[in-house]
Amino acid sequence: MPDLGGNEARYLEECISTGWVSSIGKFVERFESEFADFCTQPFAATVNSGTAAIHLALRVLNVGPGSEVILPALTFASTANCVLYQGAIPVFADCSRDCWNLDPEQLEALINERTAAIMPVHLYGLPCEMDAIMAIATRHGIPVVEDCAEAHGAEYRGARVGTFGKIGCFSFYGNKIITTGEGGMCVTGDAALDERIRYLRDHGMNKERRYWHDDVGYNYRMTNLQAAVGCAQMERIDQFIERKRWIAEQYRTRLRDSGMLLPGDGDHSLNVYWLYTAILPDGFDEARRDELIDVLDRAGIDSRPFFHPLPDMPPYKSYGRVLPHARSTASRGITLPSFHAMTERDIDRITTPILDWLRQQ
């Protein structure tokens, strides 16, 4: 559930009263400028979804038919879908044994002459090991696209995610750390890439000759209405992140002796805990994880399973390979409530039945 208790209504009313409700207006430019500053990047271009952001990133980097993109097996489907939109081949990498992010030790073996991009995903708000990933990518001359859809404000060695690769892609879906309802952003340090993204998001229309199209583009623009909500959300983004981290600490305090693998900051990273996701102990499986979800549901507590490994699902099966850590992690992962306004009492109410259930196993 989004927190819309700031200036969202006031900014939306301004859009309506002035008539600037479509994809031109002061809030679009303001949102782009403020988000670019937040990410410490010179350029940020709004789009209408995180999926559109990834798709445009791959398009402007000339990922096309026959090329390959390395990405983690554990991620939301849109990461792989955008590769397929471009007629390219997704190459799935396993996650680390003690972390659900892409394992850098696998990258080298997956690279070949067809590799057109590497796409790490900062899953659930935890930054990937970007030193290792960028070293490999640089050595092979392969561009990196960061999927930051779930990691607004997350940091690796003090730098915000989205600043390591050629392009960082963010989502502002309704359940993200900040929201515009639907929406996304491409951030980059490359002026030419930014210009190309802006051109393609607007149908590939020539800026000097109205209604003349030099390329097949897309209607991927964000409206001024959405950007107005985004501007109001940006006014409180630091507060939202601080609250997410406080909630994670409350969970960690209560579950530290549970035997579950709990998320943390990592050696060099700052986790923003978009969703608080924990892994049941070794020996548990998907059926028992789902049993815990049912226990919580009967107590009036909504929880979710981990994302499924993409190669286990029909659209991606033909690209599958042996991915033992991804399958083990996904089958034991459970996502717990993490709304900004949660209290210690709420977290006690959630963790008590979890601990009771674990003691009975």
pLDDT tens-digit profile of 271-330? 999 999 999 999 999 999 999 999 999 999 999 999 999 999 999 999 988 899 999 999
pLDDT at 291: 97
d(C-alpha 310, C-alpha 307), whole Å: 8
For 55-94, give the DSSP string: HHHHHHTT--TT-EEEEESSS-HHHHHHHHHTT-EEEEEP
Domain covering 8-234, topology: Aspartate Aminotransferase; domain 2 (3.40.640)
pLDDT tier, 346 (very low <50, low <70, confident <90, very high otherwise) = very high
pLDDT tier, 361 (very low <50, low <70, confident <90, very high otherwise) = confident
pLDDT at 226: 98
Domain definitions of the chain by residue range? 8-234, 237-360
Q: Is the pLDDT at 98 greater than 90, yes or no? A: no
Please, are residues 60 and 199 in contact by the beta-carbon 8 Å criterion? Answer: no
The mean of the pLDDT values for the chain is 96
d(C-alpha 130, C-alpha 270), whole Å: 13
What is the CATH code of the structural domain delimited by 237-360?
A: 3.90.1150.10
d(C-alpha 38, C-alpha 161), whole Å: 11
d(C-alpha 206, C-alpha 51), whole Å: 24
Q: Mean pLDDT throughout 54-62?
A: 98
Supply the pTM of this predicted model.
0.95
pLDDT at 97: 81
**How do the residues of the chain divide into helix, strand and coil, expressed in percent and rounded to 5?**
45, 15, 40
pLDDT tens-digit profile of 103-138? 999 899 999 999 999 999 999 999 999 999 999 999
pLDDT at 207: 87
d(C-alpha 201, C-alpha 15), whole Å: 22
pLDDT tier, 266 (very low <50, low <70, confident <90, very high otherwise) = confident
Look-up of token digits 């815990």: 292
Please, are residues 47 and 95 in contact by the beta-carbon 8 Å criterion? Answer: no
pLDDT tier, 193 (very low <50, low <70, confident <90, very high otherwise) = very high
